[in-house]
Copies of this chain bind each other. A is one copy, B any other.
Amino acid sequence: MKNNKVTLLGAGLIGSLMSIYLRRQGLDVKVYDKRPDKRKTPFTEGGRSINMALSTRGWKSLEECGLKDKVLPLAIPMYGRRIHDEHGGTTFAPYGKEDQAIYSISRGGFNQLLAEEAERLGAEFCFDHKAKDTDFRTQEITFETPEGDKVIQSDVIIGADGAYSSLRMSMQKQIRFNYKQEYISHGYKELTIPPTEDGEFAMDPNALHIWPRGKFMLIALPNPDKSFTGTLFLPFEGTKVCFDKIQDAGDLTSVFKAYFEDAYQLMPDLTEEFFRNPTSALINVECYPWVNGQSLLIGDASHAMVPFYGQGMNCGFEDCSILNGLIEKYGTSSWDMVFEKFQKIRKDDTAAICQMAMDNFVEMRDTVADPKFMLRKKIEAKLHELYPKDWVPLYTMVTFTDIPYAEAYAQGKLQESIMDKVMSNPLITENWNKMDYEEIINQLDSAKAV
């Protein structure tokens, strides 16, 4: 049948899940990826984080594809942040209610599971195919392959080829394509906290560990092999503690002893790993339109965000779910209409989560360590408990619901301004439990009515 042949660029998490959705609708799907087959060569990829945090939006898409039970065994629930101070003391800050968690999952195994599921459903994967250019008039993609260049013509092209998308690069050369890529001043490096000698987790596995230090931070997420993957976020240059100023083992040790002493004790291979692993940059990408004829960008290709809200993958999975819903509703006779609707629905939401991810960096590295911040979270949790529908903390809306991101963002801004007022009360630390909570909800209601 014409118009039912889809070319997907990118066999990563988003491309693989999208191909599952499309196969479940009975469409012909070919997935091309520039990398060699990950299932044949080990998963080693510089510049991409190993751990993902799967949350409600992601799970919802997996459930739609009947994959929840297959994925659960790979995932470790984290019920909150375990905050490490400079003296080795820790505090636990729950993410939501008691049973609400985000799930640590390794990119490699998860990607493999999704790609295998897609193949089982009949999607065809072609590795070692690097898309060089796409001609939107003819819908022809030129690939660089080990056997030389290859041109493929396709009815429909979906680019799930990530933050450095080749399809987007071709769109960028077209007229009236708005585009922004922005690197933040910080980079990151992945480090390992191995299991203890008796093969156990070296710290509480059901938390996201965080060492917030103002202008920089370390975090650690648990792995099924009982190690943790730590990620160190530092400015590249120009500050007291930055990657540029860590040139040898001595520099490194003194930074870790001064700021991350308890973690340092758990990292026997720190020096070796630090100087072997790459320092990666963090990019935010926004662009519009995402559609050119019958070609569409999804996931990081259209909206790559910094990782500080743990939503990059979840947002990409939600893209797949929403696109799938539109194809179900409108059929495949008019892809450009479906794509047009998709980008209209999704544009503001993805812009909102990109912004929130940027904002959350400041929260994570800085305010998380502030006692007032913990109190603020407590008051918000109490408001949510008393008025579960009226007051939903922003983190909860983003992470544990599928409220559109832009709506969550707007509601979050209202709540933030009310909480700023609440927190400006000099006696708040003593009186927080005796406040007139209904009054606060009334404030929110009248703010919403404006």
Which B residues are CB-close (under 8 A) to A172? 181
Which B residues are CB-close (under 8 A) to A181? 172, 177-180
Interface readout for A160-182 with B: 1 if CB under 8 Å, 0 if not? 00001000000011011111111
Q: Is A337 an interface residue (CB 8 A)?
A: no
Q: Are B183 and A176 in contact (CB under 8 A)?
A: yes
Interface readout for A267-285 with B: 1 if CB under 8 Å, 0 if not? 0000000000000010000
Among the listed B175, B177, B281, which residue makes an inter-chain contact with A176, where contact means beta carbons less than 8 Å apart?
B281
Distance, CA A236 to CA B281, complexed state (A) = 37
Distance, CA A179 to CA B183, complexed state (A) = 9
- Chain B residue with the shortest CB-CB distance to A183: B176
Q: Are A180 and B183 in contact (CB under 8 A)?
A: no
Among the listed B176, B177, B180, B281, which residue makes an inter-chain contact with A179, where contact means beta carbons less than 8 Å apart?
B180
Interface size on A, residues (CB 8 A): 14
Distance, CA A177 to CA B285, complexed state (A) = 12
From residue A278, how far is it (CB to closest CB) to chain B in Å?
A: 10
Which B residues are CB-close (under 8 A) to A179? 179-182
Among the listed B173, B178, B183, which residue makes an inter-chain contact with A177, where contact means beta carbons less than 8 Å apart?
B183
From residue A351, how far is it (CB to closest CB) to chain B in Å?
A: 14
**A129-174: which have CB < 8 Å to B?**
164, 172-173
From residue A340, how far is it (CB to closest CB) to chain B in Å?
A: 13
Which B residues are CB-close (under 8 A) to A173? 164
Among the listed B175, B178, B183, B236, which residue makes an inter-chain contact with A178, where contact means beta carbons less than 8 Å apart?
B183
Interface readout for A225-240 with B: 1 if CB under 8 Å, 0 if not? 0000000000010000
Which B residues are CB-close (under 8 A) to A177? 181, 183
Q: Are B175 and A281 in contact (CB under 8 A)?
A: yes
Distance, CA A180 to CA B183, complexed state (A) = 12
Which B residues are CB-close (under 8 A) to A281? 175-176
From residue A149, how far is it (CB to closest CB) to chain B in Å?
A: 14
**A261-304: which have CB < 8 Å to B?**
281
- Chain B residue with the shortest CB-CB distance to A182: B178
Most chain B C-beta atoms within 10 Å of own C-beta, residue among A173, A176, A180: A176
Distance, CA A177 to CA B182, complexed state (A) = 7
- Chain B residue with the shortest CB-CB distance to A47: B175
Distance, CA A382 to CA B182, complexed state (A) = 44
**New A-B contacts (17) at CB < 8 Å, excluding given A172-B181, A177-B181:** A164-B173, A175-B183, A175-B281, A176-B183, A176-B236, A176-B281, A177-B183, A178-B181, A178-B182, A178-B183, A179-B179, A179-B180, A179-B181, A179-B182, A180-B180, A180-B181, A180-B182
Report which A residues bind B (CB closer than 8 A): 164, 172-173, 175-183, 236, 281
A-B contact pairs, 19 of them (CB 8 A): A164-B173, A172-B181, A175-B183, A175-B281, A176-B183, A176-B236, A176-B281, A177-B181, A177-B183, A178-B181, A178-B182, A178-B183, A179-B179, A179-B180, A179-B181, A179-B182, A180-B180, A180-B181, A180-B182
Please provide the 5 A-B residue pairs with the shortest distance between their CB atoms, ordered closest to farther: A180-B180, A176-B183, A179-B181, A178-B182, A175-B281
